[in-house]
Structure 1
Amino acid sequence: MNFPRLQGMTEALRLTQAGQLNDATQLLQQLCQGQAATGPRDATVRPRRVIDLARALPKAIASGVVSPGPAAPRATVFNGTAARPANSPMPAGAAFHALTYSGPTGTRAYRLYVPASYRGAAVPLIVMLHGCTQSPEDFATGTGMNVLAEAEGCLVAYPAQPASANPQKCWNWFNANDQQRDQGEPAILAGLTRQIMRDYAVDARRVYVAGLSAGGAAAAILGAVYPDLYAAIGVHSGLACGAARDMPSAFAAMRQGGAAPSRAAAGQRTPPAIVFHADRDGTVHPRNGDQVLAQFGAGLGMKPERQDGQVPGGHRYTISRYRNGQGEPQLEHWLIQGGGHAWAGGHAPGSYTDPRGPDASREILRFFLQHRMA
């Protein structure tokens, strides 16, 4: 038995469990090249706080880990406008309810924000899916979506993925059973959405879903398998539906992009989609953002209209907009230059946010509200 190699693998596993994924990857590369198991050059490096989809998978295949993106700087500019308060008190009359949904395929707790302006008239509903290790409360704080929804008069739901369903609280986007209509987690989330539509006055033409990372991948799945329920989707740092079918292919998809995405069947509605991804995302390769676009229609005779911009004191970005055959906006792709694996324009009190913008929450909500089901 090669004891130095065994010791090296043990050390790589320890680094992975500690969150030091760059060091673990470097060590594994050395071992594969036959170098001595000397360990990382700096064993005192502090673990990075990244959303790591791979940590939700068994450590036995930890040799497929991907490196985290660069740490997100903390700043207070949002797409050229003054920073909006993330933790401002709720307006009088608003509520943030703690609720539960139970259905044939499972149960999930969720939080529901009801704006002060809600009086029983039909309003839009936005479903927000958190990333790995996050909670609904954390995601609401980091995205600031409740503040925007208050101004626009929208309901916002935040389903919670429990550790009993995934040890790192990731949505199980890589399981084939969780990519099907009326099965697994898609059925749970669709059922939760419909429960809110029954209990509150919701405009059925204006129901939307967005998510970050594993939540973004889950949002893409919901858009693909429930195009009759969600009027539009938002995918931030996520993957296309079907990008992986098991754990090994999940690692491959995160590292280099998934399998060629399937498109909607002929005659099936394709929901409009807005995609955010950073070009230095080391956890979910930016190629996955392109694959989400392809899944929802990019390349089918649509030529992008491109626009470059920069947040004052923050990131540069490129927007690619696609119009359908009727000239209506169908897709938007925001590629953030220099950003990592974090919610763009988010608030520092929430986890996995990059306050240097651009403001993903504001742009996703703007995109959603210009689309409604026919």
Structure 2
Amino acid sequence: MSHTRPTGLLSGMDEVARLTRAGRLSEATSLVQRLLRGEGAAATAPPPDPTILEGEFERLDAAPRPEARRGAPDSDAPGRGRPAGKGAGSRFGTAARTGLGETLRGLAARLRPAGLPGGGPGAPRPAAEPLPDGASFVTESFSGTAGTRAYKLYVPANRGDGPRPLVVMLHGCTQSPDDFAAGTRMNAFAERHGVFVAYPEQPASANAQRCWNWFKPEDQRRGQGEPDLLAGITRRILRDHPVDPSRVYIAGLSAGGAAAAIMGEAYPDLYAAVGVHSGLPAGAAHDLPSALAAMRQGGRGEAGKAGAGHPVPTIVFHGDRDTVVHPQNGDRVAARATAAAAGLVPEVRHGEAAGRRSFSRTLHTDPSGRTLCEQWAIYGAGHAWAGGSPSGSYTDPQGPDATAEMMRFFLEHRLRSASA
């Protein structure tokens, strides 16, 4: 899948920057929407398309969290080289307009081929690791009442005896299954443990930036929209391959992380554990404006909606200098994952591997010793998969190894009563 930026888009973004500098923010916003639909700068603006450009927006608060000072300086740290967005909590008035202008300026810069710090999709990358003999990584397709989605399935050579676990991986905006697999190195860990891995693909026809539509009400509920498609893919693999229904997991990055959080709550009878990396809590938004607010300020999620029957074990990773999805979202994912459980005892551990970023790791454990939630706050890290490979986009090789830790956490959990 090509990520080359067309010349028309680049010239159009120059016009966005000009309109923004002139204070004509509504025209600049309208032009951004037209360009991302593939229309020319002079096209008549149709009604706004409620899609989110996750991975392209700046966080507006300038002050890093106090613990950020423990990490190494990061080029995407908030407040470097630009003023804070005053009144970021408001969507109206002069302060909100200032924030919009800064967002549009950042968007114009980030849509250029140079890419983002951490290696955007257009950045040159080393080749991914080859498949081991006997393994396969093939494209499949699933169709349901909500539409059709392609997905890639990794079948390990090391399958051992009996049914194997399955991990469903949801990519971030602008990414593809191959890109996400290369960056996370999940297939290599799956081979080590004899695990199947599925990578559903969000097409541009469903979202201009290939984001999972975590902010749309119709894509947040069991039996509807994208959740129905993702559950359908999972059930298809359970039907066609020797997968253990008590060891099925789902994880994602950014928009994929937000979608994984939704899936855990919508299908607690299907997924034994959830991984949310740089994502948002379920119910964080209900449309484009609330999605942008949640990304900038932290999404609270709807009260009283967590878990249909029992909480799903969740592991959370978030960089404390994430300028795309506010770090408070990681806190709120963890809070939501533990809200319905009684008697949890939190324990905070600090660590720093040689040559890597430092982190805090908070374990929420129930009286039986089962860890219901594990939250990693990574100091100095931006919006990227921790410990990932430069073979994929949006990775941070300096971080703790999120893939290894996620796989460990997953394999510690089983559904107490599995039902496909």
Cα displacement string for residues 268-327 of structure 1 (whole angstroms, at most 9, x for unaligned residues): 121100000010001111111111111111585423111111131221100000112322
Q: CA deviation at 1:267?
A: 7.5
Equivalence for 2:395: 353
Equivalence for 1:9: 24
Equivalence for 2:183: 142
Instruction: Pick one of 358, 366, 373 that aligns with 1:324.
Output: 366
Aligned residue pair count: 339
Single out whichever of 131-140 and 244-253 deviates more from structure 2.
244-253
C-alpha change, 1:151 and 1:192, in structure 2 (3 Å) is same
C-alpha change, 1:263 and 1:370, in structure 2 (3 Å) is farther
Q: Supply the distance in 1 between the matched residues of 2:204 and 2:109 (Cα, whole angstroms).
A: 29
Cα displacement string for residues 187-223 of structure 1 (whole angstroms, at most 9, x for unaligned residues): 0000000000000011000000000000000000000
Matched, 1:235 2:276: yes
Cα displacement string for residues 36-82 of structure 1 (whole angstroms, at most 9, x for unaligned residues): x9x979x98994635xxxxxxxxxxxxxxxxxxxx3399xxxxxxxx
Q: Supply the distance in 2 between the matched residues of 1:23 and 1:234 (Cα, whole angstroms).
A: 23
Query: Structure 1: which amino acid aligns with 2:240?
Result: D
* Contact 1:108–1:159 (8 Å) recurs in 2: yes
* Contact 1:15–1:24 (8 Å) recurs in 2: no
* Contact 2:59–2:326 (8 Å) recurs in 1: no
Q: CA deviation at 1:261?
A: 4.2
SS in 2 for 1:96: strand
Gaps of 5+ in 1: 51-70, 75-84
* Contact 2:118–2:393 (8 Å) recurs in 1: no
Q: CA deviation at 1:28?
A: 11
Q: Supply the distance in 1 between the matched residues of 2:143 and 2:32 (Cα, whole angstroms).
A: 38
Q: Supply the distance in 2 between the matched residues of 1:272 and 1:336 (Cα, whole angstroms).
A: 20
Q: Supply the distance in 1 between the matched residues of 2:174 and 2:390 (Cα, whole angstroms).
A: 16
Equivalence for 1:68: none
Query: Structure 2: which amino acid aligns with 1:195?
Result: R
Instruction: Pick one of 101, 107, 115 that aligns with 1:49.
Output: 115
SS in 2 for 1:322: strand
Q: Supply the distance in 2 between the matched residues of 1:169 and 1:44 (Cα, whole angstroms).
A: 20
Single out whichever of 213-222 and 18-27 deviates more from structure 2.
18-27
Q: Supply the distance in 2 between the matched residues of 1:364 and 1:253 (Cα, whole angstroms).
A: 25
Equivalence for 2:292: 251
SS in 1 for 2:372: strand
C-alpha change, 1:5 and 1:205, in structure 2 (3 Å) is closer
Cα displacement string for residues 128-150 of structure 1 (whole angstroms, at most 9, x for unaligned residues): 00000000000000000000000
Matched, 1:373 2:388: no
Query: Structure 1: which amino acid aligns with 2:157?
Result: A
Matched, 1:337 2:400: no
Q: Supply the distance in 2 between the matched residues of 1:253 and 1:233 (Cα, whole angstroms).
A: 20
SS in 2 for 1:132: coil
Q: Supply the distance in 1 between the matched residues of 2:308 and 2:325 (Cα, whole angstroms).
A: 31
The alignment's TM-score, normalised by the length of structure 2, stands at 0.73
Single out whichever of 102-111 and 118-127 deviates more from structure 2.
118-127
Q: Supply the distance in 1 between the matched residues of 2:350 and 2:245 (Cα, whole angstroms).
A: 34
Structure 1 stretches of at least 4 aligned residues deviating more than 4 Å after TM superposition: 3-6, 10-31, 43-48, 263-267
Q: CA deviation at 1:348?
A: 0.7
Equivalence for 1:58: none
* Contact 1:125–1:208 (8 Å) recurs in 2: yes
C-alpha change, 1:295 and 1:21, in structure 2 (3 Å) is closer
Q: Supply the distance in 2 between the matched residues of 1:171 and 1:197 (Cα, whole angstroms).
A: 23
Equivalence for 1:272: 313
Identity %, equivalent residues? 51
Equivalence for 1:72: 118
* Contact 2:284–2:301 (8 Å) recurs in 1: yes
C-alpha change, 1:8 and 1:307, in structure 2 (3 Å) is same
Q: CA deviation at 1:88?
A: 2.5
User: Where do residues 185-204 of structure 1 align in structure 2 (5 Å cutoff)?
Assistant: 185-204=226-245
C-alpha change, 1:281 and 1:265, in structure 2 (3 Å) is closer
Equivalence for 1:88: 129
Matched, 1:99 2:114: no
Q: Supply the distance in 2 between the matched residues of 1:265 and 1:342 (Cα, whole angstroms).
A: 26
Matched, 1:220 2:261: yes
State the Cα RMSD in Å. 3.5
* Contact 1:320–1:334 (8 Å) recurs in 2: yes
Cα displacement string for residues 131-185 of structure 1 (whole angstroms, at most 9, x for unaligned residues): 0000000000000000000000000000000000000000000001111000000
* Contact 1:205–1:372 (8 Å) recurs in 2: yes
* Contact 1:120–1:200 (8 Å) recurs in 2: no
Q: Supply the distance in 2 between the matched residues of 1:289 and 1:348 (Cα, whole angstroms).
A: 24
